[in-house]
Amino acid sequence: MTKQYSSVSLAVKDLSKTFVLHEQGGTKLPVLNAFDMQVLGGECVALVGPSGAGKSTLLKCIYANYLSDSGSIRINLDDTTHDIRSAPPREIVRLRKSTIGYVSQFLRVIPRVSSLDVVGEPLRSIGVDERLASDKARELLTRLNIPERLWPLPPATFSGGEQQRVNIARGFAIDYPVLLLDEPTAALDRANGEVVIELINEAKDRGAAIIGIFHDEEVRDAVATSVAEVAPIQRAA
């Protein structure tokens, strides 16, 4: 889990994304239009803009969760360039394992799996030894103030805030070179918010390229090295 890379950067160029709602008679919803941004290792760029401007959509396009219409998304990791938009699904799956991390405020619950395993799973999936993975999971859960008695339980039964912290722990289990954060601190209390800020700053310090959406200005000021504006597009009906 020690850093496996020496330099990383992420470049979004000319990125456009329009949703076509076939269910609604083919309504077109343009969200991104020729969007550009770049993040270097050690930077944390905060996306700003009004609600609905497409900040989350941008993160999802970078994570390849959403399909973008044109432009490019490139990750330069050491000497290799990964072109997200043209990468085949199996390469995206691989990139998500150890290169791009994504933390949202919502945990997609996996039934029956203990919190400890939920957090350790990303490590195990890249072949990290069971014991090491478990150690790291304990460390993160402890830092995020999840009581030890909850560790063996599946997070499905937890409160919203606890679920969110489990999710954050999972997102930080691996030292991803690229981190996408979609309001990781929303609905967290101050103490836990502080922990997340620490985690983000640690990631920055080890040279990760981070893009995040932080509604809480205090958090944004504490972690962001710069700000990129995502402006809403005039909708063509």
Partner 1 sequence: MTLEEERLLLRVTNLTKYYDLIIGCRNISFDLYRGEVLGIVGESGSGKSTLLNCISARMEPSAGMVEYDTRAEGLKDLFQLSEAERRMLMRTDWGFVHQNPCDGLRMGVSAGANIGERLMAVGARVYGDIRESASAWLTRVEFDTDRMDHLPRTFSGGMQQRVQIARNLVTEPRLVFMDEPTGGLDVSVQARLLDLLRKLVDDLGLSAIIVTHDLTVARMLSHRLIVMRGGEVVESGLTDQVLDDPQHPYSQLLVSSILQA
Binder of partner 1 out of 2, 23, 147, 236 (CB under 8 A): 23
160 CB-contact burial (10 Å; exposed 0-12 / middle 13-18 / buried 19+): exposed
Beta-carbon contacts of residue 181 (< 8 Å; ≥ 6 apart): 59, 103, 171, 200, 210, 211, 212, 213, 214
Q: Does the footprint of partner 1 cover residue 132 (CB under 8 A)?
A: no
Q: Which of 106, 225 has the CB closer to partner 1?
A: 106
Q: Which of 21, 187 has the CB closer to partner 1?
A: 21
Q: How far apart are CA 85 and CA 102, in angstroms?
A: 17
Q: How far is CA 50 from CA 8, 68, 84, 136, 236, in A?
A: 29, 21, 26, 37, 19
Q: Which of 90, 149 has the CB closer to partner 1?
A: 90
Shortest Å, Cβ 32 to partner 1: 13
Shortest Å, Cβ 86 to partner 1: 13
Provide the mask over 33-52, with x wherever binding to partner 1 is found by CB under 8 A and - wherever it is not: --------------------
Report strand pairing: 8-21 vs 70-77: antiparallel
The first and second tokens of residue 87, run together, are 């990468």
Provide the mask over 90-129, with x wherever binding to partner 1 is found by CB under 8 A and - wherever it is not: xxxxx---------------xxxx-----------x----
Residues 209-228 that bind partner 1 (CB under 8 A): none
The first and second tokens of residue 69, run together, are 């219409």
Q: In the complex, which residues of this chain contact partner 1 (CB under 8 A)?
A: 19-23, 60, 64-67, 89-94, 110-113, 125
